[in-house]
Structure 1
Amino acid sequence: MSEEPDNVIHILCDEDHRHLLPSALMGFELHLLDPQKPIPADTMFLMVDVDLKNPDMLSRLRAFRKVSQRGSDLVIAIGKNDLQDELQATALGAKKPIVKPISEKSVATYIEQRRTAAGMTGKTATAAAEIGAKAIKDSFDEFKNDTAIDVDKISEAGRNIAASIADLGISEWLSTVRIYHQSTFQHILLVTGIACAFAQNTGMSKADIAKLTQAGLLHDVGKVSIPDAILDKPGKLTAEEFEIVKRHPVDGFNKLFAQGNIDASILHGVKHHHEYLDGSGYPDGLTADQIPDLTRILTICDIMGALLEERSYKPRFSVAKSIEILKEMGKEGKLERALVLALETVMKKPGSTRSNLTKLANPSS
Structure 2
Amino acid sequence: MPEGTIVLVTDRPDRSAALARALGSVGRCEVVGTDERWTRDAALIGVVADLTLTRPEASTCLRALEKRYRGRALPVIGLLRRTSTESLRHAKTLGATVCLPAYVPPDTVVAALFNQLEAFGPVGEAAVVQGVARAGEALTSLLAEARAGSRIRMQTVEAGLTPILTAVREGGLARWLDTVWTHDDATYQHCLLVAGLAAQFALHLRFRRDDQQRFVRAALVHDVGKARIPLPILNKPGRLSPDEAAVMRTHAALGHDILKAGGECDAFTLDVVRHHHEFLDGSGYPDRLAGAAVSDGVRLMTICDIYAALTERRPYKTPMPMREAMTILQSMDGKLEAGLVQSFGRALAGERP
1:38 aligns with 2:39: no
1:275 aligns with 2:278: yes
Shift of residue 129, structure 1, vs aligned partner:
0.5
Separation in 2, partners of 1:7, 1:338: 33
1:249-288 equivalences in 2 (<5 Å) = 249-288=252-291
1:207-218 equivalences in 2 (<5 Å) = 207-218=210-221
Q: What amino acid is aligned across from residue 68 of structure 2 in structure 1? A: S
Q: What amino acid is aligned across from residue 41 of structure 1 in structure 2? A: W
- Equivalent position to 2:153, from 143, 150, 153: 150
Separation in 1, partners of 2:95, 2:145: 35
Shift of residue 261, structure 1, vs aligned partner:
1.4
8 Å CA contact retained: 2:278, 2:287: yes
Separation in 2, partners of 1:260, 1:135: 18
Q: Residues 61 and 211 (structure 1 numbering): CA distance in 2 closer, same or farther, change over 3 Å?
A: closer
SS state at 2:271 partner: helix
Shift of residue 274, structure 1, vs aligned partner:
0.4
Q: What amino acid is aligned across from residue 163 of structure 2 in structure 1? A: N
Separation in 2, partners of 1:195, 1:188: 10
Q: What amino acid is aligned across from residue 232 of structure 1 in structure 2? A: N
8 Å CA contact retained: 1:105, 1:179: no
1:137 aligns with 2:106: no
* Corresponding pairs, count: 290
1:61-80 equivalences in 2 (<5 Å) = 72-74=68-70
Cα RMSD for the two superposed structures: 4.0
Separation in 1, partners of 2:131, 2:93: 20
Shift of residue 7, structure 1, vs aligned partner:
7.5
1:161-172 equivalences in 2 (<5 Å) = 161-172=164-175
8 Å CA contact retained: 2:34, 2:58: no
Separation in 1, partners of 2:60, 2:125: 39
Q: What amino acid is aligned across from residue 138 of structure 2 in structure 1? A: A
Separation in 1, partners of 2:317, 2:290: 29
Separation in 2, partners of 1:9, 1:123: 29
Shift of residue 171, structure 1, vs aligned partner:
1.9
1:225-236 equivalences in 2 (<5 Å) = 225-236=228-239
Counterpart for residue 187 of structure 2? 184
Counterpart for residue 344 of structure 1? 345
Shift of residue 60, structure 1, vs aligned partner:
6.5
Shift of residue 340, structure 1, vs aligned partner:
0.5
The structure with more radius of gyration: 1
8 Å CA contact retained: 1:171, 1:350: no
> Could you report, residue by residue, the CA deviation over 1:318-345 in whole angstroms, capped at 9, with x for unpaired residues?
2222111111102xx0001111111011
Shift of residue 123, structure 1, vs aligned partner:
3.3
Q: Identity of aligned pairs, percent?
A: 30
Shift of residue 210, structure 1, vs aligned partner:
0.9
Shift of residue 107, structure 1, vs aligned partner:
6.3
Q: What amino acid is aligned across from residue 295 of structure 1 in structure 2? A: V
Stretches of structure 1 lacking an aligned partner (at least 5 in a row): 12-27, 76-99, 109-117, 352-365
SS state at 1:125 partner: helix
SS state at 2:182 partner: helix
Q: What amino acid is aligned across from residue 263 of structure 1 in structure 2? A: D
